[in-house]
Amino acid sequence: MSTKTLIENYTKFKSEYAQEHSDFLQDLVENGQHPKTLFITCSDSRVAPNFITQTQPGDLFIARNIGNFVPPFDPNSEASATPAAIEYAVSALNVENIIVCGHTECGACKSLHLDIPEDNIEMTNVIKWLKFADSVKDKALACVGKKDPKLLYSTTEKLNIIEQIENLLTYPAIQKRIEEGTIFVQGWYYHLENGDLEYYDHIKNEFLPIEKSLENPKTHT
């Protein structure tokens, strides 16, 4: 989609939605944002958080990166956007839910299994970033091997979601709130091909249709 089209679409948004919801938008400024959910997902353009959850401005605090990775808490690490977004959402905005949303056909998860030349200067940060999921790659290989690439990639995508949830628990602020029962963490697996959504059931250790999570109120607010 060209920038010209984006601007034309924006013009429509401004004259229609912004006009019709002017009080709502003004209220978000006067009373500030109070999102209940931190939504961590992949930068992939085919994953559209507000679109798939039918949410409005102010509903989701979104942190996106390649592969929906959560770097483990490390007080000595260099500044990084995702940990900063997590800390702000949890400790400043007091979100009640954190969703880690991975997806099918994830290029980041696939590329963990491809040999990207380490000396490719144009991919310097991508190569460094993908190292956050080295352990996911190893777990997926141990789990299903590499005979069936499709199975290997989908297993990697799912194990990646589980791994990133575990990484979230390394953040003291999150650990504390989970113990208090004031924050809930959920893993979602979104199917690009048909819009299906599954969630990770940590007791059954499997991904189930999202509707089933509504039967278990302990998984969300």
Binding site for Zn ion (CB under 5 A): 42, 44, 106, 108
Distance (Å, rounded) from C-alpha 38 to C-alpha 87? 10
Q: Which is nearer to Zn ion, 106 or 130 (CB)?
A: 106
Closest approach, Cβ 106 to Zn ion, in A, equals 3
Rounded to a whole number of angstroms, the minimum distance from the CB of residue 152 to Zn ion is 15
Identify which of residues 100 and 168 has a Cβ nearer to Zn ion in the complex: 100
Nearer to Zn ion, 42 or 161 (CB): 42
Least distance (Å) between residue 66 CB and Zn ion: 7
Rounded distance, CA 142 to CA 139, Å? 5
In the chain, what's the furthest Cα-to-Cα distance?
57
Minimum distance, C-beta of residue 25 to Zn ion, in the bound complex (Å): 31
- In the DSSP assignment, the letter for residue 131 is G
Cα separation of 156 and 109, whole Å?
A: 6
List Cα–Cα distances, 93 to 34, 37, 50, 80, in angstroms: 6, 9, 19, 19
Nearer of residues 52 and 178 to Zn ion, judged by Cβ: 52
From the centroid of its chain, how far is CA 79?
19
Cβ-based neighbours of 154, under 8 Å, separated by 6 or more: 104
Q: Residue 41 CB, nearest distance to Zn ion (Å)? A: 8
Q: Smaller CB distance to Zn ion: residue 60 or 106?
A: 106
